[in-house]
Structure 1
Amino acid sequence: MYSFDMIRRAVGKTLGFVGYTIQYGCIAHCAFEYIGELVTCSGPSMQPTITNYDVVFSERLSRHFYRIEKGDIVIAKSPSDPKMNICKRVIGLEGDKVCTSSPSDIFKTHTYVPKGHVWLEGDNLKNSTDSRSYGPVPYALIRGRVCFKLWPLEKCGSLQESPNGRILRDD
Structure 2
Amino acid sequence: MTRSPHGLRLGRLLGVPIYLPLAGPALLLVVTASYAILLTRLIPRAAPAAVLLAAGCFAVLLTGSLLAHDLGHVAACRSLRLPVDRVVVSPLATGSVHAEPGGPGPECLVAVAGPLVTAGLLGLAALCAARTGSGTLPHAVLVLLAAANVLLLLFHLLPGMPADGGRVARAAAWWLSGSRATGTLVAAGLGRLLAMVAALIALMIAPAAGAAGLAGVAVTAGVAGLLWTGSAGSRDTAGGVGGGGPSPDKGHAGMGGRRWAGLLLVAAGVATLVPAYVGQTYRVASGSMRDTLRPGDRVLADKVFYRARGVHRGDLIVFRRPPGLEVPERDLVKRVIGLPGDRIEGRDGRILVNGRALAEAYLQRDCGEGSGRIPAITVPAGRLYVLGDNRCQSSDSRSFGPVDTHRVEGRAVLVVWPPSRAGTLS
TM-score normalised by L of structure 2: 0.30
Query: Where does the alignment leave 5 or more consecutive residues of structure 1 unmatched?
Result: 1-10, 25-30, 161-171
Alignment of 1:15-54 (within 5 A): 15-19=190-194, 35-54=278-297
The one-letter amino acid paired with 1:148 is L
1:35 CA drift (Å) = 2.6
Does structure 1 conserve the Cα–Cα contact (< 8 Å) formed by 2:318 and 2:333?
A: yes
1:99 CA drift (Å) = 2.0
Does structure 2 conserve the Cα–Cα contact (< 8 Å) formed by 1:100 and 1:132?
A: no
Give the equivalent residue in structure 1 for 2:422.
156
1:57 CA drift (Å) = 1.0
Alignment of 1:1-171 (within 5 A): 15-19=190-194, 35-65=278-308, 67-80=310-323, 84-99=330-345, 103-104=369-370, 109-160=375-426
TM-score normalised by L of structure 1: 0.70
The percent identity for this pair of structures is 29
Note the aligned Cα RMSD (angstroms): 3.3
**Distance in structure 2 (CA, Å) of the matches to 1:106 and 1:77:** 24
More helix by share: 2
Give the equivalent residue in structure 1 for 2:31.
none
Encode CA deviations 1:62-86: one digit per residue, 9 max, x unaligned.
Answer: 4432611111101100113697111
Does structure 2 conserve the Cα–Cα contact (< 8 Å) formed by 1:40 and 1:53?
A: yes
Give the equivalent residue in structure 2 for 1:168.
none
> Residues 13 and 74 (structure 1 numbering): CA distance in 2 closer, same or farther, change over 3 Å?
same
The one-letter amino acid paired with 1:99 is E
Provide the aligned length of Structure 1 versus Structure 2. 145
Does structure 2 conserve the Cα–Cα contact (< 8 Å) formed by 1:34 and 1:60?
A: no
SS at match of 1:104: helix
**Distance in structure 2 (CA, Å) of the matches to 1:138 and 1:69:** 15
Does structure 2 conserve the Cα–Cα contact (< 8 Å) formed by 1:63 and 1:142?
A: no
SS at match of 2:313: coil
**Distance in structure 1 (CA, Å) of the matches to 2:188 and 2:304:** 37
> Residues 15 and 46 (structure 1 numbering): CA distance in 2 closer, same or farther, change over 3 Å?
same
Q: Over alpha carbons, which structure has the higher Rg?
A: 2
1:53 CA drift (Å) = 0.7
**Distance in structure 2 (CA, Å) of the matches to 1:107 and 1:47:** 19
Does structure 1 conserve the Cα–Cα contact (< 8 Å) formed by 2:415 and 2:422?
A: yes
Encode CA deviations 1:1-53: one digit per residue, 9 max, x unaligned.
Answer: xxxxxxxxxx986643445759x9xxxxxx87873012221111111110111
**Distance in structure 2 (CA, Å) of the matches to 1:64 and 1:75:** 13
More strand by share: 1
**Distance in structure 1 (CA, Å) of the matches to 2:332 and 2:296:** 14
Name segments (4+ residues, structure 1) moved above 3 Å: 11-22, 31-34, 100-103, 105-108
Query: Where does the alignment leave 5 or more consecutive residues of structure 2 unmatched?
Result: 1-185, 199-219, 221-273, 350-368
* Structure with higher RCO (Cα < 8 A, 6+ apart): 1
SS at match of 2:334: strand
**Distance in structure 2 (CA, Å) of the matches to 1:68 and 1:112:** 17
**Distance in structure 1 (CA, Å) of the matches to 2:316 and 2:373:** 28
